[in-house]
Amino acid sequence: MSNYLLKYIFPFILMLSVSIHAQLNISQIDAGKIFQLAIYDDAYLFDYADYSVFIPDGVTIIKGVFIHQHGCSMEGIGSSTAYDIQYQAMAKKWGLAIVGPDIYPKPGRNCIDWIDAESGSAASLIKAMELVGKASGHAELTDAPWLLWGHSGGGYWTLSMMKNYPDRIIGVFAYSPAFNPQWEYPQEAFRIPLMIRHAGATDGNNTGIDCWQTALNTFAQFRKHNGYVSLAYTHEQNHNYSYVRYMAIPFFEAILTQRLPDHHSEKLKAMNQVNTWYGDTATYHVMPASAFQKNVSAMNWLPDSTAAMKWREYVITGTVADKTPPPAPYSLQVNLLNDTLAVVKWKSDADIESGIKYFNIRIKDGLTMRFPESDDYQKFNTNGDNAEPVILPELQFEIIKPAMTKTSQIFISAVNHFNLESPFSDIAVLWP
């Protein structure tokens, strides 16, 4: 078992009432702590819910909670979000907790058991945040606002949460939301920034699923009320294939910049209308709202100029290119085991825009090695946007002293998923 997986575990049972109980495990990873919590309640329409909650080290106050809700029939993979180094980097920057839910329907049933907030899926989330808040010393988790992401049935769930908890939601990214809800939203919901990605005719459009129709109907309803909504149509992709995080993360960051309060006990700020841009769904042209004088009901609302440019790139190309290198690795250490064998260790923060693909290990004498030797350090799949692998190799490797080398200097760089290389780490000396 990798040392990265668990440094300690504390399991215990929390008896909450006659009908509800929860089991909590706590594990330490390099970037923070992960709280894994299973909640059961006889009153819920579904069977039970598992929550994997990441809290970054060094964050004194949790300002918000990023919730990454899986789609129908994808139970069991939600926990990977808590171990996702790209989302962990976003969480560390903005003072967020990360929640990867796994909600299980009753035997023989399906996701209809949990996709509505009223099913108990909202109540179980709120209870989980209360319990993790107590266990972590972050009592503010109980009332912290939510940043929601959902795929398919999980996208429907995010819309249901907007209907039921509009005052608690920072923003929403709905990835091919399904089931075409027909409810009326409260006026407060139209002030929540919402981006809906869909794949048009190649989306999940079977009768009763209706992802394309969900996107169009929700957009029309929000724009009728001048709501903060945009559509991101990615052609040549489909219901289970999209590079959604490359658009979702900059969209979220634009919203967090404007909405997070100065103090965690204060209400969310309103979006600043001065920053608003519009995007034309037909021509992909973007422009400041102040420069557009025509009927805006068919125009995408976008939070600022940066998000607008990235939206344009995303709907044209299907992705958003990262044009900046990742941060440099740090805390490089060399442990000499003997005259010819050394162990090199380091730490590294992920690139928020595109994660870490691999590391280059460079020795001044000219040798360059790749870590890991093959495949990616961590990537994500284009279906549920789930991290792979979940458990990462420890950032260390063994090196054998070359026969002709008396001394060598070593330094390390990180490479992101757009093949941009970071600055070098500090230099360490092998066999001084």
pLDDT category at 406 given cuts 50, 70, 90 is low
Question: Distance (Å, rounded) from C-alpha 47 to C-alpha 55?
Answer: 26
Report pLDDT for 200: 97
Look at residue 210 and tell me whether its pLDDT is greater than 50. yes
- The pLDDT-based confidence of 7 (bands split at 50, 70, 90) is very low
Name, in order, each residue with C-beta under 8 angstroms of 27's C-beta and a sequence gap of 6 or more.
5, 6, 7, 8, 9, 33, 34, 36
Which of these, 419, 423, 372, 363, lies nearest to 395 by C-alpha position? Answer: 372
Q: Three-class SS of residue 382?
A: coil
Taking the domain 330-430, which CATH number applies?
Answer: 2.60.40.10
Q: Looking at the whole model, is its pTM more than 0.75? A: yes
Q: Say which residue the tokens 């990537």 belong to.
A: 379
What's the residue count for the chain?
A: 432
| 262: CB partners within 8 A, 6+ apart | none
Q: Do domains 12-317 and 330-430 have the same CATH topology?
A: no
pLDDT of residue 11: 41
pLDDT at 22 over 50: yes
pLDDT for 293 equals 74
Domain residue extents for the chain: 12-317, 330-430
CB distance 352 to 415 below 8 Å: no
Residue type at 181 in one-letter notation: P
Residues 6+ positions from 291 with CB-CB distance below 8 Å: none
Q: For the chain, what percent of residues have pLDDT higher than 70?
A: 94
User: Average pLDDT, whole number, for the chain?
Assistant: 92
Tens of pLDDT, residue by residue over 370-398, are 999 999 999 999 999 999 999 999 999 99
Mean pLDDT, residues 308-332 taken together: 98
Query: What is the number of H-type helices and E-type strands within the chain?
Result: 6, 22
- For 265-305, the pLDDT digits (tens) are 899 999 999 999 999 989 999 999 998 877 888 999 999 99
CATH architecture of 12-317: 3-Layer(aba) Sandwich (3.40)
The pLDDT assigned to 9 comes to: 35
pLDDT digits (tens, 9 = 90+) for 56-89: 999 999 999 999 999 999 999 999 999 999 999 9
Give the ranges where 331-418 is alpha helix by DSSP (H): none
